[in-house]
Copies of this chain bind each other. A is one copy, B any other.
Amino acid sequence: MAYRETPRMRARKEATRQRILDTTQQLVASGGFGAASVARVAEESGVAIGSVYRHFESKSDLFAEVFRHATEVEVRRVGEALNTTGPADEALAKALEVFARRAIRSPTMAWALIAEPVDPMVDEERLRYRQAYAELFEQTLVRGMREGCFRPDQNPKLSSAATVGAIAEALVGPLSPAADGLDREKADQLIHDVVRLCLQAVRAPGGQQQ
């Protein structure tokens, strides 16, 4: 008989699949999902358009996988920062800084993950992503409310959502065109200011300031 799938071929296919994923992620990082057409993805991956469909059911399927991978990385980083030992307000400050620093380093990717309109399949992933964030922040907010460093009469879900919105708008919103030409010092100042603003929003009155 004849052709059988060998480990060699399986590895090669896997490599191509991975290359397509990487290419797509790069395109999304530089111009959002809107900039990642199938033709562009194929060209930059060095394969034909049809081959993309050999590895992914559809463009939405490919996008969903890229989205999932990118957000898993982000959520993991923020989760790690939150789970360092120490008071809840310090943990939150550290996590917000991680979030802000990563957003300002890759503003287009941040926008693509947070705000760019996407088709329903990717939007489903976004819902999970938001819930993951909400749960992480909420956990720490609730802990801080118990510990007394955050004001106890707040809605932690609301505070969590508003905090993400505040950072996103401050860093990838109106200031975003400037973000490219932002030197390290200016970026640090911006991140410091926005983190302090967010912390003060949830902090208990009378707690230590700044």
Contact = CB atoms under 8 A, between A and B. Distances in A.
A161 B169 contact: yes
A159 interface: yes
B161 A165 contact: no
Interface in A158-180: 158-159, 161-170, 173-175
A154 B197 contact: yes
Interface stretch (A3-11, A70-78, A86-94, A201-209): A201-209
A201 B43 CA distance: 47
B161 A175 contact: yes
Contacts of A115: 115
A87 B166 CA distance: 24
A200 interface: yes
A203 B60 CA distance: 45
A154 B173 CA distance: 19
B202 A209 contact: no
A142 interface: no
Given A162-B167, A166-B165, A197 B193 contact: no
A52 to B, nearest CB: 24
Contacts of A168: 165, 169
Interface of A: 34, 115-117, 130, 134, 151, 154-155, 158-159, 161-170, 173-175, 190, 193-194, 197-198, 200-203, 205, 209
Given A200-B203, A201-B201, 19 more contacts: A130-B174, A134-B174, A154-B193, A155-B193, A158-B190, A158-B197, A159-B197, A161-B173, A161-B174, A161-B175, A162-B166, A162-B167, A162-B197, A163-B166, A164-B169, A165-B165, A165-B166, A165-B173, A197-B201
